[in-house]
Amino acid sequence: MTYTLIVCILENMNRNMSTTHKRINFSLPRETISLIDRIVRKGDRSRLVDIAVLEYIEEVGRRNLRKRLKEGALKRAGRDLAAAAEWFKLDEEAWPKGKN
């Protein structure tokens, strides 16, 4: 596989909320660069990479949160079912069936 070197400018937010840029170099496969060039002009590559990286990081964060929530729910499922059963009994007592 052949790689081509491109220069990218990533945006970073500093404390004053003003945008600063830092020039970095990285390599991408030619096929990836062809895909990028099909949807943006060469001068807009950095913006595309910036958006893609931010969206990727956001998605990874959401995925990790979902995983942690699921693990927590599974870990506490027994406790939660017991609490729900207890409350169900109280609810049944407070609202008996057949009385309108």
Residue 47 CB contacts under 8 Å (≥ 6 apart), including other chains = 40
Looking at residue 98, what is its pLDDT? 66
Beta carbons of 69 and 76 less than 8 angstroms apart: no
Looking at residue 77, what is its pLDDT? 94
Distance, in Å, from the CA atom of 45 to the CA atom of 35, rounded to the nearest integer, reads 11
pLDDT in tens, 8-29: 444 444 444 567 888 899 899 9
* Low-confidence stretches of the chain (pLDDT beneath 70): 1-18, 98-100
Could you tell me how far CA 17 lies from the centroid of its own chain?
22
Beta carbons of 27 and 6 less than 8 angstroms apart: yes
Look up residue 15 and give its DSSP letter. T
Alpha helices in the chain (DSSP H): 30-39, 45-75, 77-94
